[in-house]
Amino acid sequence: MNRLIVLGTGSTLPTKVLSNAGLEQMVDTSDEWITTRTGIKFRRIASVGEHTSKLASSAARNALEMAHLGSADINMIIVGTITPDMGMPSCACLVQKELSAVNAFALDLNAACSGFVYCLDVAEKYIKVDPSMKILVIGAETLSSRVNWEDRNTCVLFGDGAGACVVSGSADDHRGLLASKLFSDGSLYKLLYMDSAPSMNKDLLSKDHDGSYIKMAGRDVFKYAVRSMEMAILNVLEREQVPIDDIALIIPHQANIRILKSLAERLGVASEKVYINLDKYGNTSAASIPIALDEANREGRIKPGDLVLLCAFGGGFTWGASLFRW
C-alpha cells in the first residue's frame, strides 16, 4: 500500500513579538491571568506586508530545503488557512506564484484550527492515486488581522505564523501516515466563528456584527476541544491497534495549556510526551501543528520509526487526528 511520507518540514514566524506585558498596556488583562488560564507568554505578530502567503512561502522554502527539492518538483500546494491574503485568489495560488512552483496546482482549505490535519488527509488521497506526487501541505495564518484588539477574551490568545511539510508516497507499508480521521459538526458553529468580510449577503452577517472578528464562547469550546481530540485520538489508535503507551510524541493543536494537560490526563499520557510551544506563539490556528511538528523534528524529538500523533480541534466545529510512523 502506498503511504504518505514526510520528506521535509519547515516553519516561519514573524519577528515582531508581543508579550503579555505588552497586552497589559492594550486591554484590561494581566500576565498572571493569561499565563495561568492559557499558558501563553508571547505571540508573534505579522508586520505590514507580512501576509499569510509570505509566511506560508517562507515555511515552504524551509521544508523544500530539508527535502532537497526545488519548487518545480512540486505538483500540488494545499494551504489550510482562515486568513488568506484576499477573498480571491486563494492563498495557495499566491504561494505558487511566490515560489514559482510552475508545475503545481494550488488550493486552500478552511477547517480553522484543524486545517493542517484536514490538508494532510486530502493530500494522502492524491498520494494513494499517484505516489510519485510531491505535495506542499501548509498551515498558515495572520490571525492578528482578524482579532478585535479591544476584546480581552480573544486578543490575548492568538498569534501569526506558518508551518509546512513536503510529502510524497512510499511503498513501505510500515512507515508514513498510518491512519487519519476527520470530524465536523456545523451545528455548533456559533460557539466559535468569524463573520465574513462585508458582502452583498448582509443576511449572512450575525446580528452583533461589529467587524469581521473572531468570536468565541471560550468555556464551551474548551470542553468540546478536550473531548473531541480525545475521541479522535482513540479512534485512530483503535483502527491501527496501537496502544497509547507506544506513542513517542503527541503534537496537538496549541490553544490552551489546560486543554493539553486535561487531554494528557484523560489519555493517561505523561505530559513530556505532549509537545508544547504555545507559550512562545499562542494559538496560530491552522499553523500551530506544522510549526510544532517542524520544531520537534529539528530538535530531534522525533526519530525514524517513532509513532507520532497529531490532533486538532477548531471552528466549524472541525476536529481530527493523524497517526504517523516517522
* Interface ranges with ligand UT7 (CB under 6 A): 29, 33-34, 37-38, 113, 152-153, 156, 218-219, 221-222, 225, 255-256, 259, 283, 313-314
- CB of residue 298 vs ligand UT7: minimum separation in angstroms? 24
In the complex, residue closest to ligand UT7 by CB: 218
* CB closer to ligand UT7, 13 vs 113: 113
Catalytic (active site) residue 113: yes
Catalytic residue (choose from 2, 20, 110, 283): 283
- CB of residue 283 vs ligand UT7: minimum separation in angstroms? 5
Catalytic (active site) residue 253: yes
Contact residues for 326 (Cβ-Cβ < 8 A; gap 6+): 6, 175, 302, 303, 304, 305, 306, 307, 308
Q: Give buried/exposed letters for 113-152 (b at 16+ CB in 10 A, else e).
A: bbbbbbbbbbbbebbeeebebbbbbbbbbbbbebbbeebb
Catalytic (active site) residue 93: no
How many residues make up the chain in this entry? 326
| Residue 96 grid cell | 505558487
Catalytic residue (choose from 253, 256, 297, 311): 253
Catalytic residue (choose from 93, 113, 119, 155): 113
Indicate the residue type of 269. V
- CB of residue 214 vs ligand UT7: minimum separation in angstroms? 9
* CB closer to ligand UT7, 33 vs 126: 33
DSSP for 138-192?
EEEEEGGGSS-TT-HHHHTTB-EEEEEEEEEEES-TTSEEEEEEEEE-GGGGGGE
DSSP character for 88? Answer: S
Phi, psi at 263, each rounded to 5°: -65, -45
* CB closer to ligand UT7, 27 vs 234: 27
- CB of residue 276 vs ligand UT7: minimum separation in angstroms? 14
- CB of residue 242 vs ligand UT7: minimum separation in angstroms? 26
Give kind and range of the element (H or E) at residue 97.
helix 91-99
In whole angstroms, what separates CA 138 from the centre of its chain? 8
* CB closer to ligand UT7, 113 vs 323: 113
Indicate the residue type of 18. L
* CB closer to ligand UT7, 30 vs 75: 30
Query: Could you list the active site residues?
Result: 113, 253, 283
